[in-house]
Structure 1
Amino acid sequence: MTYSRVGVVTGANKGIGLAIVRQLAVQYPNSPHNSGPLLIYLTARDKGRGEAAVKELLEDGQLKRSKALTRDGGLSEIKYHQLDITESSSIQSFAEDLKKAHGDGIDFVINNAGIALQGFSSDVVKTTLGCNYYSTMEACHTFLPLLKPSATSRLVNVASTAGALNKYSDEIRNRFLSSKTESDVTAIMQDFVAAVEAGKEKEAGFPSAAYATSKAGLIGATRAFAAAEKDRGPLINSACPGYVNTDMTKGNGTLSPDEGAQTPVMLALADLMGQTGLFWRNERPQEW
């Protein structure tokens, strides 16, 4: 089958990621970028869980009622592909497969994969930043050249309001806001790790919070990355899905996964009027 548009969702076998895939299929027919059949790659680390997620969506009541999938006469097809963003070889392998299958490029990537670990220690911090910051940005750099050089192409990083800068000292907050490059943000992440290892993160102006700091870094790096790539075409933004009822929030969230999917999906499918490098929540740009 020939596809007019191709998208990728990482960490999509459950929770918000799975809901993003579902809502992409449901909402695509009404998108201004609807130009024909859409292929959505649902990616996950574990092959069994990823394939089970695709099977679940094929029988999903909402998708059946809306006749969103090609098997029901709709426009969207969902395929599983293995991807572990914490493994460089996995990112590269997927990128090579995308190049071979879609030589003219893909249209959007939604980086949803992430972790939230219990406790606070230098190991927790390094592991959390490794996935949520370093691996996500590696995925951005690897996938960006695959995106068509157009403002209808999108790269969306799922961040969090937990990354808001009101938790930091004025000095650290100003460093975030004045960061011009991704390297500037990475230097802040490195200083956070060093401060945690010394047991002095609070004295250094950081919260004792691995997940929140990783997401602050992701918001800052996404903003810098967008500025560096603004002439290439794709719009690059970060988004908070809200406080969603998922495993990550231990079932305490106030929003359903489908509600949490709305802003990332909007950033992938809507006409953004050229807006890039912003942090979004509730489908609107937010103060960081």
Structure 2
Amino acid sequence: MSEKTIALVTGANKGIGYEIAAGLGRRGWSVGVGARDEQRGESAAAKLRAAGADAFCVPLDVTDDDSVSAAVRMIEERAGRLDVLVNNAGVAGGWPEQPSTIDVETVRRLVETNVIGVIRVTNAMLALLRRSAHPRIVNQSSHVASLALQTTPGVDLGGLSGAYAPTKTYLNAITIQYAKELSTSNILINGACPGYVATDLNGFSGTQTPEQGAAIAIRLASLPDDGPTGQLFDDSGVVPW
């Protein structure tokens, strides 16, 4: 069994996910680069290795049971356990997007990846996480998911979002439920708000770099044993649910 900390980052072949993998790699961790497109995943892992990281590609489509099962087998054979899971893979619909005119299939597609995909991967990886001495789960959320912020007068979260924001709110809710279920274990699970980051999800209109956006997930992935669980954070601290 590997002595290095073993991490898996889903959707890690580009954007924030890649920078999370890079940041964890700089800590000396062994990082699985989860990618739906295996070729892109291999390219990203090779780039990370060239920079000195211990990175390996994990072909992983979070919407596919067989793909997730294969990823579990791959990590088990490689390391025998998983220390950190970062559920970063996600998709966005249109923006702004009125709920009264949204295509139901768009909602279904986003829920399948942003919510069910996280549940599918987390549940599949739990057995490996339970073998870790310091297991951590980080779910990539967003400020737009916060019902408290959404209902605060004067807070500008970028207009109506009929699908993306609600899926992240659902993700927040399931994160809380996982925290309750896992409260008697040593698994810490939290949500991360990366901020408004320039990625292909928003047409690269964000004001922060992917490296800046990755910082909070990296911090939550490396929490001490007495760290928080069942909370939502950005770089400034706790974000209200």
Instruction: Kindly report structure 1 stretches of 4+ aligned residues shifted beyond 4 Å.
Output: none
| Correspondence for 2:40 among 37, 49, 67 | 49
Q: Specify which structure has the higher proportion of helix.
A: 1
How many percent of aligned residue pairs carry the same amino acid? 32
Q: Provide closer, same or farther for how the CA distance between residues 15 and 270 of structure 1 changes in structure 2, counting only shifts above 3 A.
A: same
Match of 1:228 in 2: 181
Residue-by-residue CA offset, 1:109-144 (whole Å, 9 max, x unaligned): 101001002362111011111110111111111112
| Correspondence for 2:202 among 243, 249, 252 | 249
The whole-number CA distance in structure 2 between the counterparts of 1:4 and 1:208 is 41
What amino acid is the match of 1:90? S
Match of 1:11 in 2: 11
Q: Provide closer, same or farther for how the CA distance between residues 269 and 107 of structure 1 changes in structure 2, counting only shifts above 3 A.
A: same
Return the TM-score normalized by structure 2: 0.87
Match of 1:163 in 2: 145
Q: CA deviation at 1:151?
A: 6.6
SS of the aligned residue for 1:117 comes to coil
Within 5 Å, give how 1:168-207 maps onto structure 2.
Answer: none
Matching of residue 130 in structure 1 with residue 112 in structure 2: yes
User: Which has the larger displacement, 231-240 or 115-124?
Assistant: 115-124
Q: Provide closer, same or farther for how the CA distance between residues 139 and 218 of structure 1 changes in structure 2, counting only shifts above 3 A.
A: same
Match of 1:115 in 2: 91
Q: Provide closer, same or farther for how the CA distance between residues 154 and 225 of structure 1 changes in structure 2, counting only shifts above 3 A.
A: same
Q: CA deviation at 1:273?
A: 2.5
Structure 1 gaps of 5+ residues are: 29-36, 64-68, 70-75, 169-206
Contact 1:151–1:235 at 8 Å: present in 2 too?
no
Return the TM-score normalized by structure 1: 0.74
CA RMSD of aligned residues (A): 1.9
| Correspondence for 1:86 among 57, 60, 63 | 63
The whole-number CA distance in structure 2 between the counterparts of 1:264 and 1:139 is 17
Within 5 Å, give how 1:276-287 maps onto structure 2.
Answer: 276-282=229-235, 284-287=237-240
Q: CA deviation at 1:271?
A: 2.2
The whole-number CA distance in structure 1 between the counterparts of 2:132 and 2:56 is 24
Match of 2:155 in 1: none
Q: CA deviation at 1:249?
A: 1.5
Contact 1:263–1:283 at 8 Å: present in 2 too?
no
Q: CA deviation at 1:92?
A: 1.1
Q: Provide closer, same or farther for how the CA distance between residues 277 and 151 of structure 1 changes in structure 2, counting only shifts above 3 A.
A: farther
Matching of residue 275 in structure 1 with residue 228 in structure 2: yes
The whole-number CA distance in structure 2 between the counterparts of 1:45 and 1:10 is 9
Contact 1:151–1:274 at 8 Å: present in 2 too?
no
Contact 1:84–1:91 at 8 Å: present in 2 too?
yes
The whole-number CA distance in structure 1 between the counterparts of 2:118 and 2:234 is 19
SS of the aligned residue for 1:261 comes to helix
Q: Which has the larger radius of gyration?
A: 1
Structure 2 gaps of 5+ residues are: 152-159
Contact 2:46–2:55 at 8 Å: present in 1 too?
no
The whole-number CA distance in structure 2 between the counterparts of 1:283 and 1:80 is 32
Paired residues, what number? 226
Residue-by-residue CA offset, 1:33-81 (whole Å, 9 max, x unaligned): xxxx52110110111111111222234xxx4xxxxx2xxxxxx400111
Matching of residue 102 in structure 1 with residue 85 in structure 2: no
The whole-number CA distance in structure 2 between the counterparts of 1:260 and 1:278 is 18
Contact 2:2–2:79 at 8 Å: present in 1 too?
no
